[in-house]
A and B are shown apart, each in its own frame.
Chain A
């Protein structure tokens, strides 16, 4: 337990440090949001309508790009091999790493969302609704992404392949995330239904992600 806490603190500290790259994901998110009006035009009603969807796409891509870093640095300095040799189960170690990664990447995205939403004419409670769905949905992105990160960790240039492998798995998260946001803002639909399913997806990913990732790491090290 102590070892897990130490691992957690170490990962958080590395990510927060200069060059750790936690802030780059938020910056990337901001740039995707900025690009949207240039692509579709500064039409405020249109932006309001597609705003939640664009915020979700931006957050999805930002958390995906950050995944590359999740295990690669540990592979480079050899601490990944050490993790495999310690007494603690690799599944738990990987889960803790995923949690630390979410805390430094997914959570800032969710916190930044209400502010960035203003640029897309999604204001007030609507922005907070999007942030709430991101808060519930980004863990699923991180933990499904964990599988792809573990599969491609031994490859020199796995970043692009990682995105190709992980993106299809994130489609349900995107569907229910955007649906819940829209339900909260405009929708005739009840906010609870898609939001509950979104939470369920995150919980499922908590189970599948670390197990599959640990399996991939073990088999990759042989």
Chain B
């Protein structure tokens, strides 16, 4: 089935109604399995049991960036192809992505307390994620400020793309700034050399949280389509009202 078929909101709604229960079920099962795996995972020789926080922290960071990627693709859909569903997808990805970004920040902060002795250090990675969070809030604020949905969609799309272009620059700057101020990090948060016993639960948790991300995204998209219907109804009612 072609993507263009889902430009019809009714078709997309029935698709969402069919897929969502399965997606939620799979996400719940995968999460249960993942948490079970995390429970049985061995401690890290350096970080001890606190490494367990990584299994939710790192996937949340991945999905935080993934969320902006989804928004960028949706933004292209809005600006280039004018696909109506792209507007909805872009708007729906913002709160979901922001929630995962916040999860990453809070778990990172709680991991930092026993490791660094403080809840917040201006570590390069944490700082970049924090700026990403601020940018998510900016996009959400822009969505909420402009009433007309399609105009808001285009404005948010441009902001999203400008952000996508700037994110690598910001990441590079923050890394550079960080090495200037903190010559050597005491702790590397989830580097590439990770023990296989820890890698398996990490990937399972990443998979489970990604399923949760998709389920939430789809559910928020469905809500958004319904919200637009309600808006249309209100407008029709206002037009039909006597004396207008």
Contact = CB atoms under 8 A, between A and B. Distances in A.
A–B contact at 8 Å CB threshold (below):
yes
B74 to A, nearest CB: 15
Contacts of B172: 172
Contacts of A179: 176-177, 180
Interface size, B (range): 20 to 34
Contact of A215 (B135, B146, B158, B165): B158
A151 B142 contact: yes
Interface SS majority for chain B: helix
A168 B138 CA distance: 9
Nearest to A207: B165
Interface of A: 144, 147, 151-152, 154-155, 158, 161, 164-165, 167-169, 171-172, 175-176, 179, 189, 197, 201, 204, 208, 212, 215-216, 219-220, 222
11 contacts: A155-B145, A161-B145, A165-B138, A165-B159, A167-B134, A169-B170, A175-B176, A208-B162, A208-B166, A212-B161, A216-B155
A189 B5 CA distance: 58
A158 B142 CA distance: 10
B142 A169 contact: no
Interface in B131-146: 131, 134-135, 137-138, 141-142, 145-146
A172 B158 contact: no
Interface of B: 79, 131, 134-135, 137-138, 141-142, 145-146, 151, 154-155, 158-159, 161-163, 165-166, 169-170, 172-174, 176-177, 180
Contacts of A167: 134
A172 B169 contact: yes
Contact of A220 (B151, B166, B173): B151
Given A168-B134, A179-B177, A212 B158 contact: yes
Contact of B170 (A154, A165, A171, A208): A171
With most chain B CB atoms within 10 A of its CB, the pick from A144, A155, A172, A189 is: A172
